[in-house]
Amino acid sequence: MTYILVINAGSSSIKYQLIDMDNEEVQAKGLVERIGIEGSALTHTTVGKEKFVLKKNMPDHGAAMLEVMKALTDETYGAVKSMDEIQAIGHRVLHGGEKFTQPSLVNEKVLDGIREYIELGPLHNPANIKGIETCMELMPGKPNVAVFDTAFHQTMPDYAYLYGIPYEAYKDHKIRKYGFHGTSHRYIAMQIQNMLGREDLRIVTCHLGNGSSLAAVKNGKCIDTTMGLTPLEGLVMGTRSGDIDPAAIPYLMKKYNMTAEETVNYLNKKCGVLGISGVSSDFRDLEAAAKQGNDRAELALQMFTYRIKKYIGAFVAAMGGVDVIAFAGGIGENDGEVRKACLEGLEFLGVSIDEKANLSRGEADITAEGSKVKVLVVPTNEELMIARETKALAL
Ligand code: ADP
């Protein structure tokens, strides 16, 4: 047994998985919600055992982590006898700026580095730091590894990551494209390399979930991605606008009487397919509404898939061609209609999908016979990728 605990700490939540790296199987997983808010709750499941739910006020991440440890070691519901059986802890960290191009074994210097990027990841980095500090305190002596959402994208060339604003804004304030979902894009690209037995591939990875992004991965390295300084740039998402003319922002502020902060919140939470449709950010609801003749739900779906198609075209151009287009995430893995709409009209690039294979869910090769470009559904697994990185660095 080589047990690694993977932690994804949000501002009021902790998601965790215990993975046995001898067989890469999940032993237990759970979620603490509403930390520091009335009505905190822990939901824990050990594989093969009954689900455990605890409703108890947990004022901070320390209190929540203590309950996670109790659940993991519980005689009835737990997965281990003692926390000593866990050899290392891997943490998802949102923003690693330009400092972190790789996962890092946590020490004070690394923590300082993560603190340095709080300004760029104001909601996530403080929570990620809390998650790490809590584990260091409650499991002294265990190695902690930070795995950054931005790290995989650090191989982008400067002409791709810079914005067309004065160079000083980049030099003095580090304003540039960073990209996110890097752990997922990297995992998907590696799975494809393993599947096809070669690394010299031009891949467009499409991670489509509540948040969505595309990456152009050439010979295993990211050369471009759709998200930017923050996860707001790029695709039209569940509730995020994606690309928008920056001059629309002061206009929105004036028309809706919003502060800068309120406007960023509006662009992150009230826009995207939710804002367009007025129905939902969930694609199952949108498709049901569109089938019943809701025009705006239909429009939202069209906008979502059109923007993806446009970026696929851009990334194919950036890579000088394409060998594989891969879909992942809650939408990418489950929604054949979205996949089909994203690729419709790309036959000129040599892309065509097998309609029957495209109806399936989960891992699948949906390439049509004779298609020059492979089209794959590759379920992503960020937790496993974090556990692999943690094992490689800590054990
Ligand atoms: P997150 O970005 O939070 O990790 P996920 O990758 O789990 O999100 O994606 C969640 C989204 O996936 C849901 O909002 C929903 O739109 C979509 N989704 C999940 N299952 C299906 C399905 N069977 N058909 C269509 N869309 C789905």
Give how far Cα 30 sits from Cα of 8, 130, 178, Å: 11, 18, 30
**Catalytic residue selected from 149, 224, 323, 335:** 149
Which run of H or E residues covers position 377?
A: strand 374-377
Average pLDDT over residues 28-53: 97
Whole-model pTM?
A: 0.96
For domain 3-148, give the CATH superfamily. ATPase, nucleotide binding domain (3.30.420.40)
Q: Is 296 helix (H, G, I), strand (E, B) or coil?
A: helix
Is residue 361 very low, low, confident or very high in pLDDT (cuts 50, 70, 90)? Answer: confident
Pairing relationship of beta strands 202-208 and 104-105 according to DSSP bridges:
unpaired
- Residue % of the chain over a pLDDT of 90: 98
Average pLDDT over residues 111-138: 94
For this structure, is 172 an active site residue? no
User: So what's the pLDDT on residue 377?
Assistant: 98
**Residue 285 in contact with ligand 1 by CB distance below 6 A:** no
**Residue 360 in contact with ligand 1 by CB distance below 6 A:** no
DSSP E strands in 219-315: the ranges are: 221-225
Q: What is the CA radius of gyration of the chain?
A: 21
226 pLDDT more than 90: yes
DSSP E strands in 86-238: the ranges are: 86-93, 104-105, 144-148, 202-208, 212-218, 221-225
User: So what's the pLDDT on residue 123?
Assistant: 86
Q: CA-CA distance, 98 to 77, in Å (whole number)?
A: 42
238 alpha carbon – ligand 1 mean position (Å): 9
Q: What angle do CA 238, 243, 244 make, to 5 degrees?
A: 110
Which ligand 1 atom sits closest to the C-alpha of 380? 6
Average pLDDT over residues 304-321: 98
152 pLDDT more than 90: yes
Which ligand 1 atom sits closest to the C-alpha of 212? 2
204 pLDDT more than 90: yes
User: So what's the pLDDT on residue 308?
Assistant: 99
167 alpha carbon – ligand 1 mean position (Å): 38
User: So what's the pLDDT on residue 85?
Assistant: 97
User: So what's the pLDDT on residue 374?
Assistant: 98
Is residue 335 very low, low, confident or very high in pLDDT (cuts 50, 70, 90)? Answer: very high
Give how far Cα 294 sits from Cα of 257, 274, 276, 298, 304, Å: 30, 13, 12, 6, 16
pLDDT (tens digit, 9 = 90+) per residue, 249-293? 999 999 999 999 999 999 999 999 999 999 999 999 999 999 999
225 alpha carbon – ligand 1 mean position (Å): 21
User: So what's the pLDDT on residue 258?
Assistant: 98
**Residue 280 in contact with ligand 1 by CB distance below 6 A:** no
121 alpha carbon – ligand 1 mean position (Å): 23
302 pLDDT more than 90: yes
191 pLDDT more than 90: yes
Cβ proximity of 101 and 147 under 8 Å: no
Cβ proximity of 61 and 8 under 8 Å: no
360 pLDDT more than 90: no
Cβ proximity of 258 and 271 under 8 Å: no
CA-nearest residue for atom 22, ligand 1, is 334
Q: Probe ligand 1: pick from 334, 358, 383, max atoms within 8 Å of CB?
A: 334
Cβ proximity of 104 and 145 under 8 Å: yes
Average pLDDT over residues 209-230: 98
Instruction: Provide the CATH number for the domain formed by 198-377 in this structure.
Output: 3.30.420.40
Cβ proximity of 213 and 132 under 8 Å: no
Average pLDDT over residues 150-167: 98
Write out the residue limits of the CATH 3.30.420.40 domain(s) in the chain.
Answer: 3-148, 198-377
Residue 154, exposed/middle/buried by CB under 10 A (0-12, 13-18, 19+)? buried
User: So what's the pLDDT on residue 343?
Assistant: 98
262: alpha, beta or left? (left if phi > 0; alpha if psi -120 to 50) = alpha
